[in-house]
Chains A and B, each alone.
Chain A
Amino acid sequence: MKCQKKKYRRRGDRRSTMSAEVPEAASAEEQKEMEDKVTSPEKAEEAKLKARYPHLGQKPGGSDFLRKRLQKGQKYFDSGDYNMAKAKMKNKQLPAAAPDKTEVTGDYIPTPQDLPQRKPSLVASKLAG
């Protein structure tokens, strides 16, 4: 998608210049898009995606994207808390499992059995860049 650079003229002229420019530019873009839709469903889908996520980076294969892929699905835990909780478990019951299994936070110390199934989703990171 080309970035339209508008030249700023003197204030008096600007309004008339812009209104003359914009319709022409729009129809050229529209024409190209329509051509693309006819020739390539992929390009139509790309346009749809960019319309929904305007901040999406140009290259999906960039290093940021791949590095997130390398870390995909990793779940962090605190080994200190985990070991203390394991020690305590011998003496008394842990607090009841959080009903919402998608997040293990706060006072509840996770154990391996409680870690939720991970959804390998890049949705958040895709939108971020």
Chain B
Amino acid sequence: MAADIISTVEFNHTGELLATGDKGGRVVIFQREQESKNQVHRRGEYNVYSTFQSHEPEFDYLKSLEIEEKINKIRWLPQQNAAYFLLSTNDKTVKLWKVSERDKRPEGYNLKDEEGRLRDPATITTLRVPVLRPMDLMVEATPRRVFANAHTYHINSISVNSDYETYMSADDLRINLWNFEITNQSFNIVDIKPANMEELTEVITAAEFHPHHCNTFVYSSSKGTIRLCDMRASALCDRHTKFFEEPEDPSNRSFFSEIISSISDVKFSHSGRYIMTRDYLTVKVWDLNMENRPIETYQVHDYLRSKLCSLYENDCIFDKFECVWNGSDSVIMTGSYNNFFRMFDRNTKRDVTLEASRENSKPRAILKPRKVCVGGKRRKDEISVDSLDFSKKILHTAWHPSENIIAVAATNNLYIFQDKVN
């Protein structure tokens, strides 16, 4: 079913919970099993913890447009009490959800009977104190805030600030800053809409707050550039503090150059010293202190360069792949086609291609590295470029904050892979 297509995946800050959002507007949260003394050899597996409908399809009556309920992004808030909080967004509206557990129920009311029906006060002759009794665990999700009507264009990113009081939401042309407590106002901090839309040359593709500095954020563009902004400099951050762009050899320029340079995702490293960007064919790591070129470039699937014409015709060239860091910022991961995903070790410079598929998904089966063969003789285990299935794309992946556990969304299936325990 098309509504089951997973559109976002995100671990919370401890890695205990994993949230997925889908095209039908639903959020499913998985929780890691507590490791018990009986099963020391088994790593905690993830089981469904809560499911709820976050967004519904809506209509914009003024413009006669349908607003899709697809969840574009989920971001967790750090845990501050027993309940869990997350932000989920579709194209137009961000919602703050509270997910909490209930494992006790009050019993022994005076004015209500056991079924909840009101008792006739005349029949009550004694008074008793209700007591809390254990009940089966119930997980409830309630919408606590709805942040609506602030975006003319489609929201592509949300990011929680390290101050835990504010967050930002970014659409194609504007970025807004919100306070979690206030839903009827937001500050516009970036506006790249030209006065005359005929002069539009680029759009915002992704945005994220710095993990430690609450005044700093970055946003990427469809022209392959990244801007770092400091909110202390001015209220409207139209002028960047830093501008990251790799120079291009003009003789290499082709019709496709700008399209494939469009950045589909930008992520700060956990250390806050680097940013990683994903464009159509590569993943790049940038040092915040060096704006004129990335410090590392990794080829995800360069063999697609000779397929750009057909990828343009079937729209795949516009696919938006995400990228993620591991907990120690030593390995980066991103998806590709044919349900392949790639990992690059920044230290050893080794890379691997793995596949998320039914055949490999037997529990505790070890993933076998895959290889795409470009031309000439194809070895037995290799797959040729022409046999790749472009409808099987891995756009969304997530990495546990501290352990080697990854979540990979392959269309409407979620795969969770863990490192073998020895």
Contacts and interface: CB of A to CB of B under 8 A. Distances in A.
Nearest to A82: B59
Contact of B255 (A46, A69, A115, A118): A46
Interface string B163-175: 0000000001100
A36 B179 CA distance: 53
B308 interface: yes
Interface string B223-242: 10000000000000000000
B252 A63 contact: no
Contact of A76 (B23, B65, B197, B252): B65
B254 A66 contact: no
Contacts of A44: 306
A29 interface: no
A108 interface: no
A31 to B, nearest CB: 16
A48 B139 CA distance: 56
A122 B312 CA distance: 10
Contacts of B172: 69-70
Given A46-B256, A66-B200, A70-B203, A61 B309 contact: no
A76 B64 contact: yes
Nearest to A116: B2
Contact of B315 (A63, A70, A74, A121): A121
A60 B309 CA distance: 13
B306 A45 contact: yes
Nearest to A113: B57
A50 interface: yes
A61 B199 CA distance: 11
Given A79-B61, A120-B315, A61 B201 contact: yes
Given A41-B306, A63-B199, A66-B201, A77 B59 contact: yes
Contacts of B223: 61
B315 A42 contact: no
A112 interface: yes
B187 interface: no
Nearest to A56: B255
Interface string B241-284: 00000000000101111110000000000000000000000000
B415 interface: no
A24 interface: no
Contact of B254 (A46, A52, A73, A74): A46
B191 interface: no
Interface in B294-336: 305-309, 312-313, 315, 318
Interface string B41-78: 00000000000000001010100111010000000000
B197 A45 contact: no
A87 interface: no
Contacts of A49: 255, 308-309, 312-313
A54 to B, nearest CB: 13
A63 B313 CA distance: 20
A69 B203 contact: yes
A61 B315 contact: no
Interface string B206-233: 0000000000000000110000000000
Interface string A104-129: 00000000100101101111001000
Contacts of A112: 57, 59, 66
Interface in A43-93: 43-46, 48-50, 52, 56, 58-61, 63, 66-67, 69-70, 73-79, 82
B198 interface: yes
B309 A79 contact: no
Contacts of B307: 45
B64 A42 contact: no
A34 B66 CA distance: 48
B79 to A, nearest CB: 35
Contacts of A122: 315, 318
Contacts of A52: 309, 313
B153 A70 contact: yes
Given A60-B259, A120-B315, A45 B201 contact: no
A40 interface: yes
Contacts of A123: 313, 315
B252 A42 contact: yes
Contacts of B351: none
10 contacts: A41-B305, A42-B256, A44-B306, A46-B255, A52-B313, A56-B255, A61-B259, A70-B153, A121-B315, A123-B313
Given A41-B305, A43-B254, A45-B309, 20 more contacts: A41-B306, A45-B254, A45-B256, A45-B307, A49-B309, A50-B255, A63-B200, A66-B200, A70-B173, A76-B65, A76-B66, A78-B64, A79-B59, A79-B64, A82-B59, A115-B57, A117-B2, A120-B315, A121-B315, A123-B313
The 6 A-B pairs of least Cβ separation, nearest first, read A41-B306, A45-B308, A61-B258, A63-B200, A45-B309, A75-B66
